[in-house]
Structure 1
Amino acid sequence: MARVERSLGSLAARSHRRPALALAVAVLLAALGGFFARTLRLNANLVDLLPRSFESVQDLRALEERFGALGWIAVVGEGGDAESLRRFADDVAPKLADLPSIRFVEKQRPGAFFRDKALYFLSEADLREVYRRLDARLQWEKARANPLYVPLVDEPAPSLDFSDLEAKYGGAAGQRLSSTREDYYLDPDARRVVILVKPEVTSADLDYSRRVVDEVQGLLTAQDLSKYGPGFHTEITGTFQKKLDQQKQILRDIAVSSAVATALMLLYLIFHFRSALAVGLVLVPVGAGLAWTYGLVGLVYGQVNLLTGFLGAILGGLGIEHGIHLLGRYLHLRAEGEHSEQATRESFTHTGGAALVSALVAALTFFVLGTSQLRAFREFGVIAGIGMVVLVAAYVLVLPALLGLTARWGWRPRRAAVSPKESSMGRLLVRHRVAISVVSAVVLVGLFTQMRRVKFDYDFGTLWDQDLPSFVLDTQVNRIIGYSQTPVVVLTNGPEQEHAMATALVERQREQGPDSTIDFVASLSSLVPRDQPRKQQVLADIARLLDQVPKSRLTPRLREQLDQLREQTASPPFTRDDLPESVRQQFLGRHGVPGSFVLVYPAVNQSDGKAVRALAREVRGTPVADGGRVAAAGESMVMADILEMVTHEAPLILGGTTLAVLLAMWMTLGGLRIALLCMAPTVVSLLALVGLMPLVGLDFNYLNILIIPVLIGTTVDAGVHLLTRLSSPGSDFVAVYSETGRAISGGLLTSALGFGALFLAKHPGLNSIGVLACVGFATNLLVMLVAFPAILLVLSQRKRRKHRAELDTAAKERATPAPGPEHATRMS
């Protein structure tokens, strides 16, 4: 480590002597970085968070190749009466279907068709039960009509109530699709009608999504809506519009949050150094390092994801922390009369060594996070780890060169830019170290007892802004439709396997009973019942009985039911080709090729992580005849895999991060004891943070959980800076605390500002990262500057007393004369 520190000092001195060459290299690298970063784009697609080797991702890709787009564009007409809403749907649907990017349009439910064919969905045994009940009632009626019949007992009329059979088949696909008498997707009370538009390509392709939504919006804008009533207007929602709104929100969050964070960091640096030039000296190396880092990102990845899009602000905050320590030490040495080059060498030898250790430890933490299979975490870890090393390199190259130029121009730091020799907090810690240690220990123990109350929020819905207009309208559209617009799709090979899978899923749903997460199962095989010719014969028998039932003795409601039953018995058998077009087209693959799959409509909220995991287990656990796996595709399966992965990886990453940081600090600092001491405030503050979370209403979720390993790597450097300075020979606690504590406060504050950029995000998931990070840094600051120094003072005082007692004992032993021969004889 000593050699590394001397090398850093030499490199810094060389840049100081040759500033033009160092800055030319820095500018060239920054230009290359800007060139490669110019095409970076944001990819917020949920599916791309998982590796391509995952079954849910492979199944989803296979589904998109065979079936095309998942989800819909929902066109909503609002503000007319029921008849006007129907006319709007009839007028606009054909025009939407003619758009080049649209596969088909659905404006009506297939309810009338399935109500007409309802009896074919009953088993032959249940149809014969219908016949038996009708025949029993008919015989009872005939007996009562005979004047010579004398009943021996007063028995009630055999029931014609078929509600038990309706309940038995109420969850079948045909019955669910025909569950309402209104064939349009219409809500007369809300004065709203829905038209479902199916594009060709998946919503994951945001350029395509934007183009097809613009086509639909352009067509609607061109319509004369006044003929449907005053105030009639249209809105768009559905999967495609929601993805675009999410993308737009995240881009806005990145721009606004990064700008505000930069402004806040700039204001703090002005307050910290009281010098505009000093602020520039800190920011220029950070800017160069970020340009180099994002150039590498553009070269390797070509895009940023939901998390890495904010890394500019985060790395900026972490990088400024190094600048505060390095420039603060330089200014302090210059104020003591050191020459500029010697002050630069000294700053980068000692403070620079501590900065390198902290940067390497932070980078190692990020690299451990980079081992995650979750792509968002992996890319965040790799890019942040590289960025930490690059920022230190930028400081070694750029800051000494800038200092060399300012020295040539005759700049000398003002006293206002240098921290005072002593601080009142440092003197207070020395004077009341025991009391502060006791109070700190009580508070920390109290927080530790609350750790068991912390929770993990499994609700994905809390991670998206549910107040976005498209999200609010989508919820209302789902209510009108009556079931989820985004079913899970089980891929099969051929009609026989499709029928077997649909049957197995229905059977599993019945086994689960009320605990089932499945609403209903639909497939072409389930929508075209088998054994229709035999069932038609039973229906003919039922029809003959119905003609003989005396209507005059029936209630009006029962007569209406039997009239409907008579119409259904006259319905002929049907094939797949007879199904309504709105049904058949849902089961066709891309370009009209017949598909082979089963649609599983969830009965649970697909934002509920626990429910989604239960749905995945239920669907994937369905037994398959050939013993193979269930190929289930859909965003629900992806979300379930994300939660499973986070649950599995979190303890491994946390343990790996802690161990890696401890080993790295042991190696670089040269001793296990000093490494453990440097890590102590970080570990204690993290435990206190977990205990504090339930008290302030914070929960973990699958995004903000990454803050824990990040805090390990980004807060441990404060202990390194403080202990390395205190361990120097002849160091004075108050003086070191005043200088280093001020730098630690500034470093942690700028780091918090970097993550605090996410605090300004409207995206709830990103916002939760910013909130938890800020609370974590604040907790670490209190532990680092209050509890930890007080305990160190108490321990050092005890150590000095013990050492003084040992010296006094040794002095007494030396002062006592050794026993002579005469004394020894008397003793014997």
Structure 2
Amino acid sequence: MGRVERALGAAAAHHHRRPVVALLLALVLAMGGGFLARGLHLNANLVDLLPSSFESVQDLRELERRFGALGWVAVVGEGADPEALKRFADDLAPKLEALPGIRFVEAQRPGAFFRDRALYFLSEEDLREVHRRLEARLQWEQQQANPLYVPLVEEEPPSLDFSDLERKYAGGAGQRLSTREGDYYLDERQRRIVLLAKPDTTSADLGFSRKVTDEVRGLLAAQDLSQYGPGFQVDLTGTFQKKLDQQKQIARDIGVASAVATSLMLLYLLFHFRSALAVGLVLTPVGVGLAWTYGLVALVFGEVNLLTGFLGAILGGLGLEHGIHLLGRYLHLRGEGHTSEAATRAAFTHTGGAALVSALVAALTFFVLGTSRFRAFREFGVIAGVGMVVLIAAYVLVLPAMLGLASRWGWTPRRASVTTARSPMGHLLLRRRRVVTVLSAVVLLGLLSQAGRVRFDFDFGSLEDQDLPSFVLDREVNRLIGYSQTPVVVLTGSPQEEQAMVERLHARQRERGEDSTIDFVASLSSLVPAEQPRKQRVLQDISRLLERVPEERLEPRQREQVDALRRQAASPPFTRDDLPPSVRQQFVGRQGAPGGFVMVYPSVDQSDGMAVRALAREIRGAGTPDGTRVSAAGESMVMADILDMVTREAPLILGGTTLAVLLAMWLTLGGLRIALLCMAPTVVSLAALLGLMPLLGLDFNYLNILVIPVLIGTTVDAGVHLLTRLSSPGQDFVSVYSETGKAICGGLLTSAMGFGALFLADHPGLNSIGALANLGFATNLLIMLVAFPALLLVLSERRLKRHPARKESRKPEPPRHSGRGEPTHAS
């Protein structure tokens, strides 16, 4: 490590002497990085964040190949009377269907078709039970009408209540599709109607999503909507519009958050250094390093995702921490009378060595996070790890060169920049070190008692902005339709497999009862009942019985029931070709082949992670006759895989991060004891963070869980800087605490500002990352400035009492005292 430090100092001195060459090299590399990075774009699609080897991803790709889009573009018209709304739907449906990106349009409910043919979905045995009940009622009515008939006992009339059979078949696809009245997706009370347009490409293709929604909006703009009423208006929602709105929101969040974070960092640096030039000296290497980093990102990945889009602000905050330490040490040495080159060499030799250790440790932490199979975490880890190393390289190349140019041009730091006032907190810690240590331990134990209440939030809905207009309208559309617009699709290879899968899913549904996560299952085979000719013969017998029912003796409800039975019994058998086009087309692949798709409509909220995982287990647990896995595709399956992966990987990544950091610090600092001491503030602050989370109402989720390994890697450097300075012989504690504490405070604040940019995000998931990260930085700052120095003083005092001879041998001059007979160094 000594050789590395000396090499850093020599390189810095070299660039100080030859600043033009170093700056030209940095500029060329920065321009190259900026040129490459100009083509970066945001991809917020969750499916692309999973490995292609995952079942859910493979199934979704196969579904897209065979079936096309799973979601809809929902056109919502509102603000007119029911007849005008129906006219709007009839006028617009054929025009929508004619658009190049639309496969078909569903404008009317299929309910009437299935209600009229409901009896064909009963088994032959149950049809005969209907016949038996009708026959028993007719016999009873005939007996009551016979004046010679005298009943021996008073008898209740045989019931014509078929509610038990209705309940038995309530979960069937035909029954569920016919539960809503009316021929349109119409809400008369809300004066709203919905048309569902099915695109031919998945919503994951954001370019296509934008194109198809723009085409629909262009068509609507070309219509004379005033003909449907003065207050009539239209809007879009559905999977495609929601994806675009979320993408737009995240892109806006990135721009706003990054700009605000940069402004806050700039203001803080001005306050910290009291010099505009000093601010430029710190910011320029960060800008150069980010240009290099994003040039590499463009070469390797070509895009940024939900998390890496914010890495500019985050890396900027983390990089400024090194600049604050390095420039702060340089200014302090200039204040002691060193020349600019000597101060540069010394700053990069000692503080630069600590910065390199902390950067390598942080990079190693990020690289461990980069082992995750979750692409959002993996890319975040890889880019952040590379960025940390690149930023140190930028500082070594750029900062000494800029200092060399500034000194050549006669710049001399002002006195306010090179002097640090002695901190009152340093004096307080020196006098009250035992009290502060005990109080800190008590507070920590109190917080640890709350750590068991920390929970993981499995609600995906809480990580999306549910107040976006398209999200609000989508919930209204789902309520109007009566079932989910985004079913899970089980892919099958033949009609026999399709029917067998439907039967197994129904069996799973019955087995789980009320705990089932399946609302209903639909396929072409389940919508066209078997043995219809045999059932028709029973229905003809029922029709003949119904003609003999004396309606005048029935109650109004029973009369309605008999009328419905007459209509249903008179319905002829039907085939797939007789199904309504809007229904049949939902089971036709992109190549025009019907069948092969089993639609599983969930009964649970698909934003509820625990329910989604249960749904995935229930569907995949249905099994296949030959033992192969169930090929089930849908966003629910992707969400389930993400949650399974994050919960499985989180302990491994956390353990791997902690071990990697400890080993790295052990190797670079040269001893296990000092490595453990440097890690102590980080470990303690994480424990305090876990205790604070339930008190402040914060939960872990599948996004902000990455904050824990990030905090391990980014807060450990404060301990390295403080302990490295205090362990030098003859150091005055208050002076070191004042100088290093100021730099630590500045470094943690700028790091917090980088993550704090996420506070400004409207996206709740990103917002939760900012909240958790900043709480972690705040607890670490308190521990670094209060608890940890007090503990070091107590440990130093105990060590000096055990080894009094070491006290004399380590100091070339008599020890300085605080005025109370206490040692002022931490050996």
TM-score scaled by structure 1? 0.97
Partner of 1:624: 624
Q: 1:361, 1:713 within 8 Å by CA — same for their partners in 2?
A: yes
Q: 2:180, 2:482 within 8 Å by CA — same for their partners in 1?
A: no
Counterparts of 1:611 and 1:198, CA distance in 2: 27
Is the deviation greater in 140-149 or in 206-215? Answer: 140-149
Deviation track 1:256-283 (CA, whole Å, cap 9, x = no partner) reads 0000000000000000000111100001
Q: 1:315, 1:384 within 8 Å by CA — same for their partners in 2?
A: yes
Partner of 2:17: 17
Query: Mapping of 1:160-559 within 5 angstroms?
Result: 160-420=160-420, 422-559=422-559
**Count of paired positions:** 808
Partner of 2:156: 156
Counterparts of 1:615 and 1:332, CA distance in 2: 62
Partner of 1:741: 741
Counterparts of 1:461 and 1:376, CA distance in 2: 18
Counterparts of 1:234 and 1:148, CA distance in 2: 69
Partner SS for 1:77:
strand
- Cα drift, residue 407 of structure 1: 1.1
Alpha-carbon RMSD: 1.1
- Cα drift, residue 563 of structure 1: 1.6
Partner SS for 1:598:
strand
| Residue type at the aligned position of 2:171 | G
- Cα drift, residue 625 of structure 1: 1.6
- Cα drift, residue 678 of structure 1: 0.2
Partner SS for 2:803:
helix
Counterparts of 2:734 and 2:9, CA distance in 1: 27
| Residue type at the aligned position of 1:603 | S
Counterparts of 2:531 and 2:784, CA distance in 1: 77
Partner SS for 2:171:
coil
Partner SS for 1:592:
coil
Partner SS for 1:304:
coil
**Distance change >3 Å, CA 84–CA 306, structure 1 → 2:** same
Counterparts of 1:186 and 1:602, CA distance in 2: 23
Partner of 1:725: 725
Deviation track 1:381-402 (CA, whole Å, cap 9, x = no partner) reads 0000000000000000111111
Deviation track 1:603-642 (CA, whole Å, cap 9, x = no partner) reads 0000000000010011111132221111110000000000
Partner of 1:676: 676
Counterparts of 1:742 and 1:258, CA distance in 2: 25
- Cα drift, residue 145 of structure 1: 2.4
- Cα drift, residue 149 of structure 1: 2.1
| Residue type at the aligned position of 2:127 | L
Counterparts of 1:568 and 1:756, CA distance in 2: 64
Partner of 1:6: 6
- Cα drift, residue 799 of structure 1: 1.7
- Cα drift, residue 538 of structure 1: 0.6
Deviation track 1:731-788 (CA, whole Å, cap 9, x = no partner) reads 1111110110000000000000001111110100000000111110000000011000
Alignment pair present for 1:567 and 2:567: yes
Counterparts of 1:557 and 1:638, CA distance in 2: 47
Is the deviation greater in 750-759 or in 556-565? Answer: 556-565
Partner SS for 2:730:
coil
Counterparts of 1:213 and 1:148, CA distance in 2: 75
| Residue type at the aligned position of 2:532 | Q
Q: 1:759, 1:770 within 8 Å by CA — same for their partners in 2?
A: yes
Q: 2:133, 2:159 within 8 Å by CA — same for their partners in 1?
A: yes
Counterparts of 1:714 and 1:615, CA distance in 2: 38
- Cα drift, residue 179 of structure 1: 0.6
Counterparts of 2:564 and 2:804, CA distance in 1: 104
Partner of 1:824: none
| Residue type at the aligned position of 1:735 | S
Q: 2:800, 2:806 within 8 Å by CA — same for their partners in 1?
A: no
Deviation track 1:42-92 (CA, whole Å, cap 9, x = no partner) reads 000010111010000000000000000110010000100111111111111
* Ranges in structure 2 where 5+ consecutive residues have no aligned partner: 809-827
Counterparts of 1:593 and 1:743, CA distance in 2: 68
**Distance change >3 Å, CA 143–CA 447, structure 1 → 2:** same
- Cα drift, residue 483 of structure 1: 0.3
Q: 1:67, 1:595 within 8 Å by CA — same for their partners in 2?
A: no
- Indicate the percent of aligned positions where both proteins have the same amino acid: 77
Partner SS for 1:42:
coil
Counterparts of 2:160 and 2:584, CA distance in 1: 35
Partner of 1:814: none
Alignment pair present for 1:765 and 2:765: yes
- Cα drift, residue 805 of structure 1: 8.8
Q: 1:63, 1:633 within 8 Å by CA — same for their partners in 2?
A: yes
| Residue type at the aligned position of 1:476 | E
| Residue type at the aligned position of 1:705 | I
Deviation track 1:399-451 (CA, whole Å, cap 9, x = no partner) reads 11111111111111111112425211111110111111121111111111110
Partner of 1:812: none
Counterparts of 1:647 and 1:144, CA distance in 2: 70
| Residue type at the aligned position of 2:547 | D
Partner SS for 2:400:
helix
Partner of 1:54: 54
Deviation track 1:704-753 (CA, whole Å, cap 9, x = no partner) reads 00000000000000000000111111111111101100000000000000
Partner of 2:93: 93
Counterparts of 1:540 and 1:165, CA distance in 2: 19
Q: 1:66, 1:595 within 8 Å by CA — same for their partners in 2?
A: no
Deviation track 1:799-818 (CA, whole Å, cap 9, x = no partner) reads 2222239999xxxxxxxxxx
Partner of 1:70: 70
Q: Which runs of 4+ in 1 moved over 4 A?
A: 805-808
Partner of 2:823: none
Alignment pair present for 1:702 and 2:725: no
Partner SS for 2:462:
helix
Is the deviation greater in 615-624 or in 264-273? Answer: 615-624
- Cα drift, residue 352 of structure 1: 0.3
- Cα drift, residue 595 of structure 1: 3.8
Q: 1:419, 1:742 within 8 Å by CA — same for their partners in 2?
A: no
Partner of 2:28: 28
Counterparts of 2:627 and 2:661, CA distance in 1: 46
Partner of 1:123: 123
- Cα drift, residue 570 of structure 1: 1.0
| Residue type at the aligned position of 1:460 | F
Partner SS for 1:100:
coil
Q: 2:335, 2:415 within 8 Å by CA — same for their partners in 1?
A: yes
Counterparts of 1:296 and 1:383, CA distance in 2: 9
Deviation track 1:160-180 (CA, whole Å, cap 9, x = no partner) reads 110100111111111111112
Counterparts of 1:806 and 1:406, CA distance in 2: 44
Counterparts of 2:71 and 2:247, CA distance in 1: 17
Counterparts of 2:727 and 2:595, CA distance in 1: 73
Query: Mapping of 1:655-670 within 5 angstroms?
Result: 655-670=655-670
Q: 2:761, 2:767 within 8 Å by CA — same for their partners in 1?
A: yes
Counterparts of 1:594 and 1:37, CA distance in 2: 46
- Cα drift, residue 594 of structure 1: 2.2
Partner of 2:592: 592
